[in-house]
């Protein structure tokens, strides 16, 4: 008998049958290669990441909301209490607004003539099409909303998106539509949404334009960095788990993972890294980009707990394929969880992290070869290198 029998299950899937459910198909037929990784991803998410009171953060890159995956997959995950906080590109949140405002997007073709589309006032995102007026009307909505008095101060992006989501939710109610917008759902379920590059989207462009009209709205990126770290610290310090569910890569991936180095390296608070790592990406690790960086590499930075590295999964597949399958699997295998409503705890979480930083963190002057102070010079004008009484180079 082969020694493999004692270590690995036999690869002999049952034939696919008519009417098979998604979860059964994944468990039965997805056995090897990235199909196998997708099955592992589904089980990791369902059996460990959302088990108990674990906190799952999701990062979004790539044009997911224009493809309808906000309504189809992301909103159901928030509604079920499976995803408790989000970092997204601004573009995904901007295009999410179209759905909450009742605007139409269409399934087209990637092989259309873009010169003709430009002439006809049609925008193309690969095979997603919509009228140019959709952009103009969405811009007008954002500008109108942020003129409100509640926007006239400095705020983090989670507060900004919460307030904007309130306006979207009100518009949905007037239009008689529901569960269409990620921003509206986040407002209803208290899910904080951050963006790592606030100026890098049409939302940021409209905020910048209104600044020329003396809008007092400013984005506090420092609060974003500390607030996201506070969410992770709260999960870990309570004895629960912190997991990352990364769709694509890019800046949101790093912004989510850097929460652990912020806690450990910068603030000096003892921590071991996120517990579970799940990424769906088409980025390769050998190009050196963060999008393709593996969980093993993240361990070296303190971003991932090394003890849980075997439970980290990277599925090299398009998020428009993997996200609906993972969502369907989770909803069929796990019961909805009580909503955590982390947005409404934001000030308390922030205050606790600040308290721990003051307790453990140190700010002191360190003499180093990269010190920016000018070196002392002798009579000859040359730099003088010596040793002070404490033994440090001067």
Annotated catalytic residues are 303
C-alpha distances (whole Å) from 3 to each of 9, 10, 11, 36, 319 are: 12, 12, 15, 22, 37
Q: How far is residue 360's CA from residue 117's CA, in Å, rounded to a whole number?
A: 58
C-alpha distances (whole Å) from 340 to each of 113, 192, 257, 308 are: 47, 11, 21, 24
Look at the chain and count its residues.
Answer: 394
- Please name which of 307, 298, 262 lies closest in space to residue 278, comparing C-alpha atoms: 298
CA 79 to the chain's CA centroid = 17
Q: What is the 3-state secondary structure (H, E, C) of 43-96?
A: HHHHHHHCCCCCEEEEEECCCCCCCCHHHHHHHHHHHCCCCCEEEECHHHHHHH
Q: Looking only at Cα atoms, what is the longest distance across the chain?
A: 91
Within 8 A by CB and 6+ apart from 128, the residues are 63, 66, 67, 105, 106, 107, 108
Query: Considering just the CA atoms, what is the radius of gyration of the chain in Å?
Result: 24
Q: What three-state secondary structure class fits 242?
A: strand
Q: How far is residue 370's CA from residue 68's CA, in Å, rounded to a whole number?
A: 50
- Going by the DSSP 8-state scheme, the letter that residue 371 receives in this structure is -
| Residues paired with residue 124 on neighbouring β-strands, in sequence order | 129
Within the chain, where are the H helices? 22-29, 33-44, 69, 75-79, 90-100, 114-119, 132-145, 157-175, 182-189, 202-211, 221-237, 250-257, 259-261, 295-300, 319-333, 346-360
């Amino acid at each position: 008998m082969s020694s493999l029998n004692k270590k690995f299950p036999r690869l002999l899937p049952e034939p696919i049958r008519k009417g098979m459910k998604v979860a059964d198909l994944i468990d039965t037929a997805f056995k090897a290669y990235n199909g196998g990784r997708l099955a592992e991803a589904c089980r990791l998410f369902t059996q460990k990441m959302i088990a108990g009171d674990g906190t799952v953060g999701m990062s979004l890159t790539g044009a997911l909301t224009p493809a309808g995956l906000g309504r189809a997959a992301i909103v159901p995950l928030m509604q079920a209490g499976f995803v408790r906080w989000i970092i997204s590109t601004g573009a995904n949140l901007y295009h999410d607004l179209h759905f909450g405002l009742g605007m139409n997007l269409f399934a087209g073709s990637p092989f259309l003539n873009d010169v003709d589309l430009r002439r006809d006032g049609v925008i193309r995102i690969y095979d997603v099409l919509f009228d140019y007026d959709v952009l103009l009307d969405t811009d007008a909505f954002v500008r109108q909303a942020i003129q409100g008095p509640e926007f006239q101060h400095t705020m983090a992006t989670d507060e900004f998106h919460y307030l904007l989501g309130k306006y979207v939710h009100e518009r949905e109610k007037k239009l008689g539509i529901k569960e269409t917008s990620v921003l509206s759902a986040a407002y209803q379920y208290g899910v904080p949404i951050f963006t790592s590059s606030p100026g890098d989207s049409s939302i940021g462009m409209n905020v910048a334009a209104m600044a020329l009209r003396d809008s007092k709205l400013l984005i506090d990126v420092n609060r974003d960095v500390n607030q996201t770290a506070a969410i992770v610290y709260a999960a870990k310090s309570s004895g629960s788990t912190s997991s990352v569910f990364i769709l694509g890569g890019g800046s949101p991936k790093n912004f989510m993972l850097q929460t652990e180095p912020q806690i450990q390296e910068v603030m000096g608070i003892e921590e071991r890294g996120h517990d579970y790592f799940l990424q769906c990406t088409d980025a390769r690790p050998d190009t050196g980009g963060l999008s393709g960086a593996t969980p093993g590499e993240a361990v070296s930075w303190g971003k991932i707990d090394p003890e849980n590295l075997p439970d980290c999964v990277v599925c090299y597949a398009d998020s428009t394929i993997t996200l609906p399958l993972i969502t369907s699997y989770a909803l069929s295998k796990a019961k909805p969880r009580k909503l955590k409503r982390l947005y409404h705890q934001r000030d308390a979480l922030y205050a606790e992290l600040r308290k721990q930083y003051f307790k453990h963190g140190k700010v002191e002057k360190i003499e180093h070869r990269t010190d920016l102070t000018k070196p002392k010079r002798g009579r000859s004008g040359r730099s003088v290198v010596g040793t002070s009484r404490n033994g440090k180079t001067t």
